Chains A and B, each alone.
Chain A
Amino acid sequence: MSNPRQRKQQMSVLDRLQRYLPQLVVAPPFLLLVFFVYGFIAWTGIISLTDSRMLPSFDIQGFQQYARLFAMDRWDVAFHNLLIFGSLYVLFALMIGCLLAVLLDQHIRAEGALRTIYLYPMAISFIVTGTAWKWILNPSLGIESYMQKLGWESFQFDWIVNRDMAIYVVVIAAVWQASGFVMALFLSALRTVDEDIIRAAHLDGASTTRIYIGIILPSLRPVFLSAFVILAHLSIKSFDLVVALTNGGPGYSSTLPANFMYEMAFRRNQIGLGAASAMMMLATVAAIIVPYLYSELRAKHHG
């Protein structure tokens, strides 16, 4: 038997270990996160202020790269595309996902199978989605040639090779992929709605449409918000879908900022310009996320 004093010391070492264990476990991932995420955000921010071309330099030039960026038609097109793509993608994915969820919520048969079918596209990589839709929409391979072979000679659906319409093709493929996910979000929320509320509304004389539009969907506001934030940031960082589907073409008519950034930073030896465009994307994401986080944290503080 060890004497009591020694035991007491052993205990206190164990006690101390127990007290600091959470910090010890959490610290390394936290440091890695700080370094690789926030560290590199800061680094990118610094690079965007320099005249870096093929290799990073630290010769601070102020906002010269940003001035160049905004003067480029290519960036203009990319950012304009982001506005079209982002708004249509979020809008249609929300609308279709919500509609599917409401329809599936009517206690229909084979609900489980249908739910899986709708959710499945989310499990596919953007590259696969892009490639498949590229073939489907290719005028000489896909829908257009199929309809023409069926005898509808004047049928035309050539958006994918049309400069003005190519970005809408990206919207179609992206909405197809995300709607099922939005549906799953809404469906799980719909299932938490107290069934008595629906019964009470029926007794009050409201139609089913009215019950959904007037009572149930408004009470799902937090889900709308979460879905919006998820879709919005997905749309801003969209990259691989464009690469697989149109490769930014025809010309650069369907590029998005992420494609622009990749093109400049890794293919054209314009690291400074690429970093500046990356910072612009970060600013766009922040414009959406920060108000969301602010409202969420504030709500929690009050609650």
Chain B
Amino acid sequence: MATISIEHASKSFGSTEVLRDISLDVKDGEFLVLLGSSGCGKSTLLNIIAGLDPLADGTIRLDGEVVNDVHPKNRDIAMVFQSYALYPNMTVERNIAFGLEMRKYSKAERKAAVREVASLLQIEHLLSRKPSQLSGGQRQRVAMGRALVRRPKIFLFDEPLSNLDAKLRGEMRTEIKKLHQTLKATMVYVTHDQIEAMTLADRIAIMRDGVIQQIGTPQQIYSTPANMYVAGFVGAPPMNFVEVELARRKDQFGVILPAVLKGQPIEYFLPLQETEQLAGREGSKVVLGLRPEMITHNAFGQSSAPEIECDVELVEPTGADTLCLIRLAGQPAKARVSPLFACEPGESMRFSIDTSRICLFDGKTKQLIG
């Protein structure tokens, strides 16, 4: 068992508030990702869990026990750092065994534990080398080995992959996920990379300016983002935001979507489900959130889906899909279509819009309203 529970945590460095009243629960065996851009407080939160930074206000419990004043070494936590933080004067073997050495394990026990971890991570041939003789990926593995060898209750990762090149990052990501499935340990992982967060997490907590914006499964975060910040942060290319007006036409509730066809402005009407939150707001402005894949070529689109025809300004082929840059309500927006159906730039094309997955945000509060 290893659960983490944080209640009303606050922390400031000087006059800057880094964490504001954060409450968070991590279940046993869960992989939680703290996602946010730099300076949002995610690393500070991780350090507080590790005990490396003291908590100014609030309580932190591990397995139900308050650990605010427990020294990091007694929390049974291991951490992997972005810089790997290997001990430069020790061989890989001693680096991995150092934690056990400090905990007074016998030499034979240490050796056996190191062997086991080294074979798991495939670094047996590196054991006698110094960190300076290793490549980035190898250092990364050693840093993981150092965390694994103690068999801690909780693993913390502080942007462990951001110093690796793209290919290696993908491979290590898969390995970390495999590791979590084998060990079934509680893991908290900090990153600014939304793809890492989406692929690894059981649950994601998105942070901004020391406040958690939303906690949920990757799918929840992706399909029902709590606000425009979350919606814009997750997904690549990001969600298109279009400012539109709520309206009612022929008893049908919906939004008016201005576009451009053959150089001329044109208005389309997108029918929407009228929810309680939206009722009676006709005539008011809202922000329409459309992911690129919700605007697609109409060949395979649902026949009932509304369609728009508009000019394509630019075409970006990515291989699997092609992104078409169109203009909605004066704003550039991206549509994701199959390369088979993509038109030439400057031509116009019919798109069908998946209104069932559309997000609507309040223009002022930026919160999700439907």
A9 to B31, CA, bound (A): 74
User: B47: which A residues are within 8 A, CB to CB?
Assistant: 199
Indicate the size class of the contact surface on chain A: 10 to 19
Restricting to B70-114, which residues have a CB under 8 Å from any CB of A? Answer: 71-73, 77-79, 81-90, 98-99, 102-103
A163 to B83, CA, bound (A): 57
Asked, given contacts A205-B73, A205-B99, A206-B98, whether A199 binds B87 with beta carbons under 8 Å apart, the answer is no
Asked, given contacts A199-B52, A199-B79, whether A204 binds B85 with beta carbons under 8 Å apart, the answer is no
Contact indicator B88/A199 (Cβ below 8 Å): no
Contact indicator B73/A199 (Cβ below 8 Å): no
> Scoring A residues 14 to 57 as 1 if CB is less than 8 Å from chain B, else 0, what string do you get?
00000000000000000000000000000000000000000000
Asked, given contacts A203-B52, A218-B89, A219-B89, whether A196 binds B81 with beta carbons under 8 Å apart, the answer is yes
User: B99: which A residues are within 8 A, CB to CB?
Assistant: 203-205
Q: A222 CB to closest chain B CB, in angstroms?
A: 11
Q: B160 CB to closest chain A CB, in angstroms?
A: 11
Contact indicator A200/B146 (Cβ below 8 Å): yes
Closest to A193 in B: B88
Contact indicator B50/A203 (Cβ below 8 Å): yes
A215 located at the interface, meaning its Cβ lies under 8 Å from any Cβ of chain B in the complex: yes
A257 to B233, CA, bound (A): 72
Q: A207 CB to closest chain B CB, in angstroms?
A: 8
Contact indicator A194/B89 (Cβ below 8 Å): no
Q: B84 CB to closest chain A CB, in angstroms?
A: 8
A32 to B163, CA, bound (A): 49
User: A221: which B residues are within 8 A, CB to CB?
Assistant: 89
User: B81: which A residues are within 8 A, CB to CB?
Assistant: 196, 199-200
Q: A206 CB to closest chain B CB, in angstroms?
A: 5
A221 to B150, CA, bound (A): 30
A147 located at the interface, meaning its Cβ lies under 8 Å from any Cβ of chain B in the complex: no
Q: B185 CB to closest chain A CB, in angstroms?
A: 15
Contact indicator A205/B79 (Cβ below 8 Å): no
Contact of B102 among A194, A199, A204, A219 (CB under 8 A): A204
> Scoring B residues 53 to 80 as 1 if CB is less than 8 Å from chain A, else 0, what string do you get?
0000000000000000001110001110
A210 located at the interface, meaning its Cβ lies under 8 Å from any Cβ of chain B in the complex: yes
A104 to B331, CA, bound (A): 56
A202 located at the interface, meaning its Cβ lies under 8 Å from any Cβ of chain B in the complex: yes
User: A200: which B residues are within 8 A, CB to CB?
Assistant: 79, 81, 85, 87, 146
The interface centre, meaning the residue of B71, B73, B84, B90 with most chain A CB atoms within 10 A of its CB, is: B73
A197 located at the interface, meaning its Cβ lies under 8 Å from any Cβ of chain B in the complex: yes
Restricting to A168-200, which residues have a CB under 8 Å from any CB of B? Answer: 194, 196-197, 199-200
* A binding-site residues for B, Cβ under 8 Å: 194, 196-197, 199-206, 210, 215, 218-219, 221
The contact sample of 9 A-B pairs, CB cut-off 8 A, is A196-B83, A196-B84, A197-B86, A199-B52, A200-B87, A202-B73, A203-B78, A204-B99, A219-B87
Top 3 closest pairs, chain A to chain B, by CB? A196-B85, A205-B102, A205-B73
